[in-house]
């Protein structure tokens, strides 16, 4: 891991649950001995924001005192905005690593697409900053974060202790919600093909008008043992390496062969 000249590595931390969530506090606690930590995170919940950026309105940013001696800023933007602001306006350089989370709830399989946690990490990766998103399979703010904290420390130490594998390194780490001693290990996986069977709960407001709430049942169509869903079901921590080149090369070849557009 490249260090800043004559100084500690800079660890940028963000999330999508908002800067006051227990998850980001646990992430800070887990890695604060490994470098100079700087927190830049949203001032309100941004779950499900995907890779949203704020282009039509201005952003606000304020320094806050939430993590003792650790420098921390809250912004009115999305998780992706936070990474952009951190690099351009706070650090004035790229951090050595960017960590996002710990998200309250799973971001395995197709959730990587919807996840604000992962999109912040992806933004850093596009910028050439090695980056990791962490999620715990427990939505509750009261969840025991101690096992996740240990796992985070282990993974970040390992990644930071060796030469940069890939400047676009991007990992999606999900942690099962079980006691530490029940975690069987850390497994490198592929993203499972799974999706939500969605439906909207239709209701009537006090003015007699219809409104809709999104609900959905998670369905895993992927029976492989090499997927993140399988790993988590079997009490492994799942690590999925993620890329931002979305080209479907198989379909590209097929289309070229078909001469459909000639």
Taking the least distance from each CB to its own copies, the nearer of 24 and 80 is 80
Specify the 3-state DSSP secondary structure of 9.
Answer: coil
Taking the least distance from each CB to its own copies, the nearer of 6 and 259 is 259
Contacts (CB under 8 A) with its own copies, residues 30-49: 45, 47-49
Site string for its own copies, 139-158 (x = CB under 8 A): ----------------x--x
Ramachandran region, residue 92 (left: φ > 0; alpha: ψ -120 to 50; beta: rest): left
Q: How far is CA 25 from CA 16, 29, 125, in A?
A: 13, 6, 22
Contacts (CB under 8 A) with its own copies, residues 50-79: 50-56, 58-61
Taking the least distance from each CB to its own copies, the nearer of 65 and 248 is 248
* Stretch of 17-25, 31-39, 176-184, 195-203 contacting its own copies, by CB under 8 A: 195-203
Among 68, 181, 209, 217, binds its own copies (CB under 8 A): 209
Taking the least distance from each CB to its own copies, the nearer of 2 and 214 is 214
Among 22, 186, 218, 235, binds its own copies (CB under 8 A): 186
Among 142, 198, 208, 217, binds its own copies (CB under 8 A): 198
| Among 3, 140, 12, residue whose Cα is nearest residue 79 | 12
> Residue 196 is encoded by which pair of tokens?
């939500």
Taking the least distance from each CB to its own copies, the nearer of 69 and 202 is 202
Beta bridge partners of 174: 135, 238
CB 134 within 8 A of CB 152: yes
204 binds its own copies (CB under 8 A): no
Provide DSSP, 85-107. HIIIIIISS--SEEEEEEEES--
Contacts (CB under 8 A) with its own copies, residues 76-135: 80-81, 84-85, 87-89, 110, 112-114, 119, 122, 126-127
Q: Burial level of 166, CB count in 10 A (0-12/13-18/19+)?
A: exposed
Taking the least distance from each CB to its own copies, the nearer of 7 and 162 is 162
22 binds its own copies (CB under 8 A): no
Taking the least distance from each CB to its own copies, the nearer of 69 and 198 is 198
CA angle 116–117–120, rounded 5-degree value: 80
- Compute CA 196 distance to the chain's CA centroid, rounded to the nearest angstrom: 19
- Residues contacting its own copies: total by CB under 8 A: 78
């Amino acid at each position: 891991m490249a260090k800043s000249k004559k100084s500690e590595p800079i660890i940028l931390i963000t999330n999508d649950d908002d800067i006051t969530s227990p998850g980001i506090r646990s992430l800070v606690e887990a890695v604060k001995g490994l470098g100079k930590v700087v927190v830049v995170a949203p001032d309100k919940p941004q779950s499900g924001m995907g890779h949203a950026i704020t282009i039509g309105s201005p952003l606000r940013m304020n320094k806050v005192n939430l993590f003792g001696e650790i420098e921390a800023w809250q912004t009115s933007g999305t998780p992706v905005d936070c990474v952009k602001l951190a690099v351009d306006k706070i650090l004035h350089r790229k951090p050595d690593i960017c960590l996002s989370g710990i998200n309250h709830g799973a971001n395995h399989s197709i959730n990587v697409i919807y996840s604000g946690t992962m999109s912040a990490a992806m933004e850093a990766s596009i910028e050439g900053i090695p980056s990791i998103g962490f999620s715990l399979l427990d939505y509750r703010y009261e969840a025991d974060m101690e096992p996740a904290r240990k796992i985070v420390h282990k993974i970040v130490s390992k990644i930071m202790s060796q030469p940069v594998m890939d400047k676009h390194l991007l990992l999606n780490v999900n942690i099962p919600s079980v006691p530490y001693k029940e975690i069987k290990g850390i497994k490198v996986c592929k993203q499972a093909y799974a999706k939500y069977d969605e439906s909207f709960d239709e209701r009537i407001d006090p003015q007699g008008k219809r409104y809709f709430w999104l609900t959905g049942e998670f369905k895993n169509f992927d029976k492989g043992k090499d997927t993140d869903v399988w790993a988590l079901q079997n009490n492994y921590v799942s690590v999925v390496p993620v890329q931002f080149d979305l080209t479907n090369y198989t379909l590209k070849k097929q289309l070229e062969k078909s001469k459909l557009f000639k």
